Amino acid sequence: MKVLVTGGAGFIGSYLCEELIAAGHDVTVFDSFHAQIHGSQPCFDRPWLKPCEVIRESVENRDALYSAAISAEVVVHLAAETGTGQSMQEVSRYSSVNLVGTTNLAHLIANKSLPNLKRVVIASSRAIYGEGKYNCANDGVVYPKPRSAERMLKGQFDPVCPMCGGEVELAPTDETSLKQPSSFYGLSKQFQEDCLTLICDAAGISCAALRFQNVYGPRQSLNNPYTGVLTVFARNAFHGRRINVFEDGKESRDFVYVTDVVAAIVGAISFSYQSSLVLNVGTGVGVPLKQLAEMINLYYGGKSDVYVSGDFRVGDIRHNVADIAAIGRAFGYSPKIAVDEGVGRFCDWARAELEAELQ
């Protein structure tokens, strides 16, 4: 098939393009090569880009997007600004790329401008859930509100029941859970999936919105502070610098390895379904950040002080664990890479990258 991958030169896109090329698909990469991700002098000669047609443009340019998508049978829409914290300051930029860019694709679909298009896959995010799903002994299933700075300044990091204010117990967040994003990034991802599932359903085109958990692996940008905590921990551990773990270190994330995410995307491209699907992509396992920091520090020889500082960011969530039963039923998805193996692979790659910086 002819597949257009927006954001195809990025972290997830690079692995996806390799997989699609290996399967015999005709792949076009549409990417702005933003300096925050690719550096001031991006490399267009990456091995995974060579077999693809590469178009350097932004999804904000509807005419360019139309020219790239006119013959596509599948569009995988990965292009987006992705920093949760950054989105709360650079609202206009995130709005332009994530909202306008997605609306441009939706406009082309709604006006039947893409006659060969059969399927759309949209990269959504667990950020749309906010704190996610919990159980309260008094009120049953609840969805806590964002944590207040006042409570966190007192070291009270756990969310509370929005009904009674009591303690709550974490539950895996499923796709029917309440959507209440705590960042503009999360709000923009909610718009992306709602926009494209609505327009594709109306146009009779199948669409899958995949809510990625915390994706990690080799090729993440080590210089972009918004690409994830692993890159920050790895850089500090490699150089023997203190690793600052926020809050009390017990906050957790569902870390899913990049090749497992690509397997989910390929499933969304390949399997048969008619109306739109919305599915979590993760492992179903939460990893406390102090444990992650210690794992990475040990890999690099244990030279760093893993310091639990009590620092926090308003808008950050406490925990993140996905219910992945639905995607297992839909595509037979099951994550293959456990976090200890995945972190080892990431650290092997990061070591070579960081050593190269010293030369």
The set of long-range contacts for 158-166, using a CB threshold of 8 Å and a minimum separation of 24, is 158/318, 159/131, 159/134, 159/318, 161/134, 161/136, 163/136, 163/138, 163/139, 164/136, 164/138, 164/139, 166/136, 166/137, 166/138
Q: Are strands 243-245 and 277-281 parallel, antiparallel or unpaired?
A: unpaired
Both ends of the chain: CA-CA distance in Å? 43
Cα 340 to Cα 284: distance, rounded to the nearest angstrom: 15
Report, in angstroms and rounded to the nearest whole number, the Rg of the chain calculated over CA atoms.
20
DSSP secondary structure letter of residue 324: -
- 185 tagged catalytic: yes
Of the residues 185, 216, 257, 299, only one is catalytic, namely: 185
Amino acid 218 reads P
Distance (Å, whole) CA 310 – CA 244: 9
Q: Which two tokens stand for residue 243?
A: 């690793």
* Catalytically active residues, by annotation: 185
